[in-house]
Structure 1
Amino acid sequence: MLGGLTLGRFTGGDPSLLRRINSAVVLHALRDAETPSLTELMRVTGLSRPTVEGVIEGLAESGLVVEVPPDPADARKQGRPARRFRFHAEAGHLLGIEVGAHQVRAVLSDLSGTPLGSHRHDVDESASAEERLERVRGTVAELLRRSSVARGTLWAVGVGTPGIVEADGVVRLCTALPGWTGLPLGERLQRSFRCPVLVENDANVAVVAEHWQGAAVGTDDAVFVLAGLSPGAGSLIGGRLHRGFGGAAGEIGALHLLGREVTPEHLLSTTGTPLHPLDEGAVARVFALAKEGDPQALEAVNRFLRRLVHDVAALVLAIDPELVVVGGWAAGLDGVLEPLREQLALYCLRPPEVALSALGEGVIATGALRLALDHVEEQLFAVEQAPLARR
């Protein structure tokens, strides 16, 4: 490993491969530093000065590196000031998109993942697939317009959506969004962009987001619970996203299909008949009544929390995470966190830490952005092919 970049085993005799390795190593060092000099890059990478200079020249021609003005401290020294360089994060842009039941949210960043703006639009829960896709396009167009960013500068787009998502971006099953099951979401959105579009389950990108810059920073074994009417979960095992064989890992909300008596409509009913309509507003009213001491509402909330605990406990027992992060709209309701802690302590052999999401409503779009950033970094630091290759 050199500068955080795993090089693996390579044989000599291939100058082009060696150039790609050197380019990836120098670029990685530039990403990790602010404005290093040639001497500092030589020290970090272990490469000779002519090699570093040659790599810098090539990266500058590609637009990925720019020279910065001399440091005032260097200018005060005798002799020529040291030449300094930085990663040109503005050379391209990344987009993270959340497609949810009630909203579409998009966040824009440069190539370092630094946010440049965000935009959201409400969408009706009953909207058709075409209407929802049109709302996505409109949200993205407005964000790009407000940020004065050309669509052609996008290097990758990440998308988080409810449902079981195949590796090719097809939504295999989704009960939350009308017309979403079977939708080739990646292909449909690809028509709007000239860059790779990567689609992933919303809870999966949420756990990636929390690991990147939220409650799970520094924790490589974590579960994110997207707590709603039908909870879902995303899991990191050893710092890697666990999707399962077919992308269905973490679909703990499916446990209610084992018996109608535990469906959300029955769990949250205060009258003995199924709650209808079953939406977030109706559920919020039940929780509000429980807070006021209404006995039927209290029992309904307790049933809901017990089911959530059972679902989460099943996953915790299976993978033994260090941390469970709770997000989604139910996380904002009073009383959800402490019962989770108490009940998981009863059900689990080694109770995990439990925390609320640090990213709130933006967690899915942030995770989708990280998905795009991961893709670009794989391209930038690749050694099997030219690191600047883009589809």
Structure 2
Amino acid sequence: MGRLTGGDPSLLRRINSAVVLQALRDSRDGPGAEAPTLTDLVRLTGLSRPTVEGVVEGLIAAGLVLAAEPGEGGTRRQGRPARRFRFRAEAGHLLGVEIGSHRVAALLSDLRGGMLGSTVRAVPESASADERLEQVRAVVPELLRAAGVTRGSLRAVGVGSPGIVEADGTVRLCTALPGWTGLPLAQRLRRSFRCPVLVENDANAAAVAEHWKGAGVGCDDLAVVLAGLSPGAGSLIGGRLHRGYGGAAGEIGALHLLGREATPEETLSTPGQPLHPLDDAAVARVFERARGGDARAREAVERFVRRLVHDVAALVLALDPELVVVGGWAAGMDSVLVPLREELARYCLRPPRVELSVLGDAAVATGALRLALDHVEEQLFAVEGRVTARR
């Protein structure tokens, strides 16, 4: 790679373009708000007026910026109005997809992350990898048609999936979905899209979502636990997603393999026999009976909470997060918070705050969408070396 110098005109153009575009993207948008003028952009960016004028014209030509109509987003004034400009959030679109044991869900947004639509389709737990991927291919055009968006406008697709996911989007290990271990998921999905496809572990995606729009807004050190058949956790440290060396960080559901805990089938059993089949519907029935006062179901839920506490305590002792967000099966159970808080206070040197997920079933798809948005923003705004804009 050639050496970049401070006087490289190509680099300076990229820096200035990114700075102006970000100022436009971050400007207030909505009823009563006015799009910025050239004078506003000069003030916001610190660039000279000729530089801003040249950058804006280039961004208009690229389809990322639009000259706003006089009075758009504000009130009309006497005399010749100053030209105003806005970021074209509609210039591209993003998809966030969740591939789960029993469903496929998708969210669609513009380039600001504004939600344009969503869809969910049930998938049998026994569905093969090919059948599950076919459901993904089926829900996407359905969602695009409903929103009036063309497939060609997609800039990136984020996908949240169970399992340990490698950097290239291959699922190295997954016990939740048939035929998923070893699946080159990103490669398979790229056949259906003309844009980058980013695959992430579902708990990691949920952590990104809670930090963006959920219980973890404003908190940069948090862990999100998806309480399911095999509890998994995603964590952010200093605001950055922590995947671990091999992408297996947060796989706390493997703790029972150490022989110190019962299997999920035994933990959630009500008649003394392993729960079979062990799926979301069966577990939901156990929780429902517990809420209704069934003694055996309450004992099963208590065992589930104790196991969850042990798993979460191990995570908290290792990471020392400020906040633990609980999702998955336990997301709708207010009763899980008190025992979790009490037991973590016993086990942990500095107990974290514990909250239920506010995103619920939408957490994984929302996080996948945020990852797609991060990818596009990096393309639009990131510049090598993070060099300061030049006048």
Q: TM class by shorter-chain length?
A: over 0.9
Counterpart-to-counterpart distance in 2, 1:112 and 1:210: 18
Counterpart-to-counterpart distance in 1, 2:220 and 2:77: 45
Q: What is the CA-CA distance between 1:109 and the residue it aligns to?
A: 0.7
Unpaired runs of 5+ residues, structure 2, are 29-34, 386-391
Counterpart-to-counterpart distance in 2, 1:67 and 1:367: 32
Cα pair 2:261 2:307 within 8 Å, conserved: no
Counterpart-to-counterpart distance in 2, 1:76 and 1:291: 62
Q: Which residue of 2 aligns with 1:269?
A: 269
Q: What is the CA-CA distance between 1:74 and the residue it aligns to?
A: 7.4
Q: Please list the CA deviations of residues 200-246 of structure 1 after superposition, one character each: whole Å capped at 9, or x if unmatched.
A: 00010101011111110000001111111211000000000000000
Q: Which residue of 2 aligns with 1:329?
A: 329
Q: What is the CA-CA distance between 1:11 and the residue it aligns to?
A: 3.9
Q: Give, as a single letter, the amino acid of the residue that structure 2 aligns with 1:212.
A: W
Unpaired runs of 5+ residues, structure 1, are 1-9, 386-391
Q: Give, as a single letter, the amino acid of the residue that structure 1 aligns with 2:124.
A: D
CA gap 1:261/1:14 in 2 versus in 1, 3 angstroms: closer
* 1:183 counterpart SS class: coil
Give the TM-score normalised by the residue count of structure 2. 0.93
Q: Identify the range of structure 1 (295-304 vs 12-21) with the bigger mean alpha-carbon deviation.
A: 295-304
Counterpart-to-counterpart distance in 1, 2:250 and 2:327: 14
Counterpart-to-counterpart distance in 1, 2:247 and 2:331: 25
Cα pair 2:331 2:360 within 8 Å, conserved: no
Q: Which residue of 2 aligns with 1:68?
A: 68
Counterpart-to-counterpart distance in 1, 2:286 and 2:8: 68
Q: Which residue of 2 aligns with 1:229?
A: 229
* 1:85 counterpart SS class: strand
Cα pair 1:331 1:337 within 8 Å, conserved: no
Cα pair 2:334 2:356 within 8 Å, conserved: no
1:146 aligns with 2:140: no
1:1-391 matches, within 5 Å, as 11-34=5-28, 35-71=35-71, 75-78=76-79, 80-259=80-259, 262-333=262-333, 335-384=335-384
CA gap 1:18/1:334 in 2 versus in 1, 3 angstroms: closer
Q: Would you say how many aligned residue pairs link Structure 1 and Structure 2?
A: 376
Counterpart-to-counterpart distance in 2, 1:261 and 1:71: 66
Counterpart-to-counterpart distance in 2, 1:263 and 1:106: 32
Greater than 4 Å deviation, 4+ residue runs: 72-75
Counterpart-to-counterpart distance in 1, 2:152 and 2:284: 43
* 1:182 counterpart SS class: coil
Counterpart-to-counterpart distance in 1, 2:39 and 2:308: 56
Cα pair 2:144 2:151 within 8 Å, conserved: yes
Q: What is the CA-CA distance between 1:334 and the residue it aligns to?
A: 5.3
Identical columns (%): 75
Counterpart-to-counterpart distance in 1, 2:90 and 2:146: 16
Q: What is the CA-CA distance between 1:271 and the residue it aligns to?
A: 2.6
Counterpart-to-counterpart distance in 2, 1:74 and 1:310: 59
